[in-house]
Structure 1
Amino acid sequence: MAATKSEPTRILVLGGGYVGLYTAFGLQKKLRANEASVTVVDPQPHMTYQPFLPEAAAGSIEPRHVVVPLRRVLRRCHVLTARVTDIEHAAKSVTVEAADGHVEKLSYDVLVVALGAISRLLPIPGLAEQGIAFKTIGEAIYLRNHVMTKMDEAASTLDPELRKKLLTFTVVGGGFAGIEALGELEDMTRDACKYYENIDPSDIRWVLVEAAGRILPEVRETLGVWTAEQLEKRGIEVYLSTAAKSFEDGHVVLSDGTEFDSDTIIWTAGVKANPVLASSDLPIDKRGRVQATAALQVVGHPDVWTAGDNSAVPDLSRTEEDPTATCPPNAQHAVRQARHLAKNIITAIRGGKPKDYYHKNVGSVASLGLGQGVADTFGIKVKGYPAWLMHRAYHVKAMPTFNRKARIAIDWLLGGLFRREVVSLGQINNPKEEFARASKS
């Protein structure tokens, strides 16, 4: 694994998310000249800071400011815009499909598997056709325009039943992603009502569906109960211990027998490890994640490293009480693991022994909309406005690069001075519609 004088070690990083970006950034800062080459492969040319997606969707932050251009930050790395289709570690080869469609094989000496997770879809009738996921900046932009377009359509329709369907918005999943998306978007629609003379806030219906008996499992149960109560006070309908049975043609059927029409289905009910891993020759656990050691090396393969959502890294802060405990898939662990990973790779390249990753979860923070939040940090419960400030402070600190931190802070400042924009840019979803219409005339 050590580099030779004539041939630098080839480090291949699969994925440009939290782990991929921070690992490559750490490597480019600490590697000596000609010690190693670093190549990052991702289907997108940017990293998305997902905790800010709800605010981007609600118009509190400019969407471009929650993404970090890989080529701008990783100037000493090679960035390849491509999708990984196969990993064959026995041959030290990775197959990728490039942006232009051609397929090629990449060789490596050291591999970093940071492919992350994708939305977990269930075999629910109508979900694939009606559901909108919430993991990418494209989905956040689409969702914002979709919601605002539905309000425009509802304001102009003469059909009362269609109007009711257009103004009914359903969120499935009561974890952080679902609750923050719900809180921000409901806040946005309520604010937008000021500009629609025939839409009152009471006309808009938001519904949360969660199969478990509580929401926000990342915080203590009492805070989850408080959050549900706050949502209900805002007029949001909360269905707990209730599963979605069907979404066909926008008709929602729940397991408790509840039925209603909704033209917006936001799906945030869990994620799963990137399916490419299942067909690789790397060891994976029953949840499809790469099995890792505490030093972030893949079990049985010291020249393969992994971290983040696609990995099962032992959580040393909890293994005494639960020997099988693994680090939860959140940004807090991903960022810290990536920084530790970069140091361990350099240590290994130079012949040293990598150190185990250890981090005790300091807690969680969540936004419930403008000026509202919930936090459970260092054993302290915080609610309302202070928790919302903690949420913003923590995530702007974790946002990569000073450039992005400054832009987000300015967005918040301008939003506080001039209020957020509530305009719909629905044409983004179908930019050629007018062109097609003109061609037929």
Structure 2
Amino acid sequence: MKYDVVIAGGGFAGAYCARVLGKALGAAGVKRVALIAERNVLVFHPMLAEVAGAALSPLDVVNPLREFCKNVDVLQGVIHKVDWAQKQLVLDGGRFTRNHVVTFDHLVLTLGSVTDMSRVPGMGDHAWPMKSVADALRLRAALINRLEEANLVEDAELRQRLMTFVVVGGGYTGVETAGQIMDLLHEVRPLYANLKDTLPKVILAHSRAHLLEEIGEKLGDYAQRVLEKRGMEVRLNTRVTEVTAAKVILQDGSFIEAHTVVCTVGNAPSPVVLDLAKQLGMPGDKGRVEVEATMRVKGVDKLWASGDCASVPWDDRGTMKVAPPTAQFAMRQGKQLGENIARVLKRGAGAELRPFSYRYMGQLATVGEREAVAEVFGMHFSGFFAWWMWRTIYLAKLPGMGRRFRVMVDWTFDLFFARDISLVLPPAEDLLRAIHLETGESLFEAGTKVRAFYFVKRGSVTLEAAGEAPRLMSAGDVIDQACATGEGLWRVGAAATESTDVVVIRGRALEMLKTTLKLVRRE
């Protein structure tokens, strides 16, 4: 699979870049440009909190990339590594379509950031992230499940713990998610006969002195007053140091008893971007690639970057800054980058490129119960008018007329009807899975990425490596990191010696097993 341009990342920057290139190249673009995304949809993140709060359907906030980016080849998969010297990358498309090699001439990095909750012990095990539509759906299900459980128990302390919800992070996602949780709980609690005497408690913990610091102290403080007036507990200058199944432990040694924690912090640079920067010896600003104003990576020909993973120079009315990692900037960077690459493809390397420029319009955030805060062209608004502006502006920005109509209908229904608390759980992560192998069938090959460990349940597996005698793994044996290199690749190949059943250990179970094995071997 070879393309003139490969766009790595299907967020706002990548999708709009691909959309512009598809329009510029026409039908020929599908053979020349590929967009690689982990999911085949463009997620409209500003409305994600409303999905968690059951105010919108998940289908309202997504747009199929194949419809949005016409004349472009959309490839769904996870990029494991970019080899710049060979101008190729390795793509994992799923369980049966791994290790695809995609070759490129130009590479566009729009991978954004990843969620890393490992810095706080227990956060990754017990907290709900808010990064994707799946995260919002799982959180919605968790909120409703807590209400159902609380409706069952008679113990007052346990019931209050089940009815206490902690949101970590006071930025846009944290404030909007906390507001939606509060709206959902207050609206549906009367439907639960045994919860009429138990008030839900929502606690917003933020490590800084003001909420929504990106929008200014004045509006951030207003948002705090609105949330507190509605009964939310806002704790500023509060850092979470540990999370357990029943407690959120704070830096001052105090703790909050709660079974539900939402984490809206912990963004980290993409490992793929960090690895490529290391290959090329590129400096980075907190994991963001330094680019020219045209979004060409400094000192590297045919490498481009925009969005959250790039430090894009921005002229803010005469003051040079780095463009902030927000959706409105990523969208416009993607459009401009697509136009620049189209010029290079049509006119060659000497084509004149336009630098990124954008007149900042402002920012908006909802705080629930038809109130919001907004900064538009330097003017500040709050209350119902700001909420109306939020809905009007974001409805206009939502890609696709069909999606806009759906959201408009859902918002209209929301004015007259209660939120839907039907419990539809997404499929649970398959941490342990049994597979069957026939004689001679390969389990994995040497040099491939370690994606799982394997427990031989029945039969046997032979491990083979160049220059080493074959090793037989029988029932009860585990094939783990002892057979891997330090780079996370299998040092050996494995194939069934006879009819064999193997248990595959992956996901969180794999990470826990890796940690345990390291500790055991250290002792």
Give yes or no for TM over 0.5.
yes
Report the 3-state secondary structure (helix = DSSP H, G, I; strand = E; otherwise coil) of the residue aligned with 2:193: coil
Residue type at the aligned position of 2:21: L
Show the 5 A alignment for 1:65-144: 65-99=60-94, 100-144=96-140
Match of 1:190 in 2: 186
Match of 1:20 in 2: 14
Contact 2:170/2:211, CA 8 A, preserved across alignment = yes
Report the 3-state secondary structure (helix = DSSP H, G, I; strand = E; otherwise coil) of the residue aligned with 1:357: coil
Show the 5 A alignment for 1:140-289: 140-200=136-196, 203-280=199-276, 281-282=279-280, 283-289=282-288
Identity of aligned residues (%): 29
Q: Distance in 2 between matches of 1:270 and 1:239?
A: 18
How far is the alpha carbon of 1:303 from its aligned partner?
1.3
| CA-to-aligned-CA distance 1:13-33 (integer Å, 9 cap, x gap) | 111111111111111112145
Match of 1:437 in 2: none
Show the 5 A alignment for 1:272-421: 272-280=268-276, 281-282=279-280, 283-317=282-316, 321=319, 325-351=321-347, 352-421=351-420
Match of 2:25 in 1: 31
**TM-score, normalization by structure 2:** 0.77
Q: 1:431 to 1:337 in 2, by over 3 A?
A: closer
Q: Distance in 1 between matches of 2:403 and 2:93?
A: 28
Q: 1:346 to 1:431 in 2, by over 3 A?
A: closer
Task: Name whichever of 238-247 and 416-425 sits farther off.
Answer: 416-425
Residue type at the aligned position of 2:110: A
How far is the alpha carbon of 1:429 from its aligned partner?
5.3
Corresponding pairs, count: 421
How far is the alpha carbon of 1:400 from its aligned partner?
1.2
Report the 3-state secondary structure (helix = DSSP H, G, I; strand = E; otherwise coil) of the residue aligned with 2:293: coil
| CA-to-aligned-CA distance 1:73-131 (integer Å, 9 cap, x gap) | 33422111110111122321111112234102211111111111112425222111111
Task: Name whichever of 81-90 and 186-195 sits farther off.
Answer: 81-90
| CA-to-aligned-CA distance 1:121-148 (integer Å, 9 cap, x gap) | 2522211111111010000000001001
Match of 1:62 in 2: 57
Q: 1:407 to 1:74 in 2, by over 3 A?
A: same
| CA-to-aligned-CA distance 1:166-203 (integer Å, 9 cap, x gap) | 11100000000100000111111110112112224862
Q: Distance in 2 between matches of 1:331 and 1:413?
A: 25
Match of 1:47 in 2: 42
Q: Distance in 2 between matches of 1:37 and 1:224?
A: 46
Contact 1:275/1:288, CA 8 A, preserved across alignment = no
| CA-to-aligned-CA distance 1:373-413 (integer Å, 9 cap, x gap) | 11011111111111111111111111112121122112112
Higher relative contact order (CA 8 A, sep 6+): 1
Report the 3-state secondary structure (helix = DSSP H, G, I; strand = E; otherwise coil) of the residue aligned with 1:359: coil
How far is the alpha carbon of 1:307 from its aligned partner?
0.9
| CA-to-aligned-CA distance 1:274-311 (integer Å, 9 cap, x gap) | 12111113524141111111111111124122111111
Contact 2:188/2:418, CA 8 A, preserved across alignment = no
| CA-to-aligned-CA distance 1:193-225 (integer Å, 9 cap, x gap) | 121122248621111111111110121211111
Choose 1 or 2 for highest CA Rg: 2
Q: 1:407 to 1:219 in 2, by over 3 A?
A: same
Match of 2:462 in 1: none
Report the 3-state secondary structure (helix = DSSP H, G, I; strand = E; otherwise coil) of the residue aligned with 2:374: strand
Contact 1:142/1:429, CA 8 A, preserved across alignment = no
Q: 1:260 to 1:224 in 2, by over 3 A?
A: same
Match of 2:5 in 1: 11
Residue type at the aligned position of 1:332: Q
Contact 2:9/2:111, CA 8 A, preserved across alignment = yes
Structure 1 stretches of 5 or more lacking a match?
Answer: 1-7, 433-441
Contact 1:292/1:299, CA 8 A, preserved across alignment = yes
More strand by share: 2
**TM-score, normalization by structure 1:** 0.91
How far is the alpha carbon of 1:70 from its aligned partner?
1.5
Q: 1:32 to 1:152 in 2, by over 3 A?
A: closer
Report the 3-state secondary structure (helix = DSSP H, G, I; strand = E; otherwise coil) of the residue aligned with 1:316: strand
